[in-house]
A and B are shown apart, each in its own frame.
Chain A
Amino acid sequence: MTKRLNVSKLTTRSLLYLLLIVSSFVMAFPLIFMILGSIGTTQDYIRSPWLPIPQNPTIENYLIILDPSKTDVLQWVFNTLIRAAWYIIIPGTVAILAGYVFAKLSFRGRDAAFTFLLMSMMLPGIVFQVPTFVMMARFPLAGGNDLLGQGGTGFINQWPALLIPGLVSVYYIFMLRQTFYSIPADFEEAARVDGAGTMRCLVSVYLPMLKPVITVLIIFQFVGIWNDYLWPLFVTTGNPEVYVMALGFQFLQAAGNSLKGLPNTVTDYPFTFALAACSILPLVIMFLFLQKYFVEGVQGFAIKG
């Protein structure tokens, strides 16, 4: 009796592991395929389309992609990093300050201001992206525009268009407010007795305690900006100098053939795969190191509140 139970339990467990391993492999398959394909040749891929196992692995494609004299990829990665830093520092600072105000100060109009900010969560981004595009194009005295915003192209295809919108993130203000709520007032009061002002309290008292939530903010903002495609597509399609990686990708794919001296009639898949790997692997590596914070960030709102 006991033995039979154990056997059936063993079967269930092996079945469980089989299911987990197979399904996890299916999820990882596109990425495994991409990495294998990127170090192989088109022949490898035609020989075994299930999984292009390279016969003579080569990093030629990566060398071409990362060579500044052949492609602009490094420039695009640099652009993406600049943009990520900007969108971490400004919305992060705003979220810390506003989170403090909404959680720790009480004054008339505070809740009205909060509700007012919340309204942005009611609408999908596209509702303000189309008019914001027009605002960027018609920005007075920019890009050949006159005082009324006519005549030129404004900030279109220029850096400011990539940096001006979206600097107040209500989502992060929310996140910080919740965290400030969870910190007892005693810490701040003790510091105030010692003569610290508000800014001093924020920097010396709260900031160290906010480290986990700020880490989550940095990670998610970084991922969001690294993968941001729609807005750069709207405003910078015409200027390769300010492309971000996610946008540049599609324009470089076609260039791979001429760089490697291949005719345009074939699609150089290994090159495409290597290019995609350059865009995706940095985040995957980051995830493997910071897995805890990713999981915490996803669960943050839902569980802990």
Chain B
Amino acid sequence: MNDAGILGNNAVRAPVFVSRRERFRRWRYRNRHALEGWGILTPILLYYGIFFLFPVFASLALSFTTWSGLSGSPVWVGFKNYQRFLSDPTYRTIITNTILFAVSILLIQTGLAIFVALLLNTKIRGRAIYRAAWYIPTLTSAAVMAQVAFVFISPADGVINMVLRQLSLPPIIFYVQVDWMRVVIIAYSVWRGVGGAVVLYLAALQGIHPELYEAAQVDGANGRQLLRHITFPLIAPMTIFVLITGIIGTAQIFEAVMFLSKGGPANLTNVLMLQIYQDAFANQSLGMASAGAIFLGLMLLVFAMFQMRIFSRGRVMN
């Protein structure tokens, strides 16, 4: 059969003329994937190069210069802008504040989210209503709600001070009592930020097989042991996800500070994003603004790399 096949093939082989057009057609068919792929990707990559890659390098370059952005050309100053971040007490305060806010908001909202998700994961009526109450704040505009929140802390006729007056307690002057201002900023940010984590944890909890609990209960485990040995280990991947994506978000805190405290008093609640905005637009110092942006990027780089790895794996849990 083999021989016959070979013979047969030889028998019919004749010089075949393939026209140029036909060859092109075959070549096009063979490389269909590459042609279509690059056809679609080229404009996307081009746009991405102009409006992402170029600005990133521009930011990096500008961070070594001093420039108003309005006129003249950038003047090279080397690492001076970065040095200022480490030596100027104002910028050091700003960095400390940013870290302080980012970490405290993240930890409070993650802890709260786990607690609420555990509550919501029990057999209750009207879960969707409670879930909505927790999730809706994340849909509100950070800028608009921060201005509404300002009504609560306004010195003379703010809600909090009017309530305090009714209770015959001394008023809080938020612009002076900086710790209270911090509390307000953190509380507002947690209020707006906690909902996403609640929904995520709820999904993680619902993904745990009930048999695991049943088996452990048969072995005589109590509620606390179930939490410690089953629930927490199984939602650990979700916690990593929530913490990593969370820190990238909370470190970019902006609107809350801009509208509640404007960074005051004396920069004691100022944060990096607000300072970048002020450097770029109020102080007209694009060099400092770019250095601030790059600084923020470097602070978050490790987390961003982790985040990318989670995303490329395509899933967090099961």
Contacts and interface: CB of A to CB of B under 8 A. Distances in A.
Interface of A: 16-17, 19-21, 23-25, 27-28, 30-31, 33-34, 46, 49-50, 94, 97-98, 100-101, 105-110, 113, 116-135, 137, 164-168, 174, 178, 181, 198, 223, 226-227, 229-230, 233-234, 245-247, 249-250, 253, 267, 269, 272-273, 276, 279-280, 283-284, 287-288, 291, 294-295, 298-299, 301-305
A124 B119 contact: no
B45 A49 contact: no
Given A121-B307, A291-B128, 16 more contacts: A28-B136, A50-B163, A105-B37, A107-B38, A116-B45, A116-B48, A120-B52, A122-B308, A129-B55, A130-B286, A131-B54, A230-B277, A249-B144, A295-B135, A302-B238, A303-B317
Contacts of B40: 97-98, 100-101
A124 B273 CA distance: 10
B273 to A, nearest CB: 6
Nearest to B241: A302
Nearest to A253: B147
Contacts of B273: 126
B130 interface: yes
A94 B140 CA distance: 27
A278 B58 CA distance: 39
A122 B293 contact: no
Interface stretch (B82-90, B200-208, B225-233): B200-208
A27 B133 contact: yes
A30 B58 CA distance: 42
Interface stretch (B6-14, B103-111, B214-222, B298-306): B298-306
B171 to A, nearest CB: 12
Given A123-B56, A269-B151, A294 B135 contact: yes
B132 A291 contact: yes
A135 B151 CA distance: 37
Contacts of A165: 51
Given A124-B296, A130-B293, A174 B119 contact: no
Interface string B260-279: 00000000000001001100
Given A226-B141, A229-B143, A287-B139, A124 B48 contact: no
Nearest to B148: A276
A198 B62 CA distance: 43
A49 B203 CA distance: 38
A287 B136 contact: yes
B191 A49 contact: no
A188 B317 CA distance: 30
Interface string B108-147: 0000000010011010100011111111110111111101
Nearest to B303: A122
Of B45, B69, B141, which is in contact with the most chain A CB atoms at under 10 Å from its CB? B141
A303 B207 contact: yes
B96 interface: no
B280 A229 contact: no
Contact of A16 (B122, B136, B259, B293): B122
Interface of B: 31, 33-34, 36-38, 40-41, 44-45, 47-48, 51-56, 58-59, 62, 69, 116, 119-120, 122, 124, 128-137, 139-145, 147-149, 151, 154, 157, 159, 162-163, 166, 191, 196, 199-200, 203-204, 207, 238, 241, 248, 251-252, 254-255, 259, 273, 276-277, 280-281, 286, 289-290, 292-294, 296-297, 300-301, 304-305, 307-308, 311-318
From DSSP, what is the main secondary structure of chain A's interface residues? helix
B307 A302 contact: no
A303 B242 CA distance: 12
Contacts of A280: 139-141, 144-145
B147 to A, nearest CB: 6
Of A25, A108, A295, which is in contact with the most chain B CB atoms at under 10 Å from its CB? A295
A288 B132 contact: yes
Nearest to B315: A305
From DSSP, what is the main secondary structure of chain B's interface residues? helix
Contact of B286 (A134, A230, A247, A267): A134
A305 B316 contact: yes
Contacts of A226: 141
Contacts of A25: 133
A168 B318 CA distance: 30
A229 B199 contact: no
Given A20-B130, A121-B307, A302-B204, A127 B143 contact: no
A284 B34 CA distance: 45
Contact of B162 (A46, A126, A223): A46
A127 B53 CA distance: 10
A128 B47 contact: no
A303 B204 contact: yes
Contacts of B130: 20-21, 24
Of B44, B131, B254, B281, which is in contact with the most chain A CB atoms at under 10 Å from its CB? B44
17 contacts: A20-B124, A27-B134, A27-B136, A28-B133, A30-B191, A105-B33, A123-B56, A126-B276, A127-B55, A127-B293, A131-B59, A132-B55, A134-B69, A135-B51, A168-B47, A226-B141, A302-B200
B56 A283 contact: no
A226 B140 CA distance: 9
B304 A121 contact: yes
Nearest to B60: A127
Given A123-B297, A165-B51, A128 B147 contact: no
B189 to A, nearest CB: 13
B59 A168 contact: no
Contacts of B304: 121-123
Contact of A178 (B34, B44, B314, B318): B314
Contact of A284 (B139, B143, B148, B307): B139
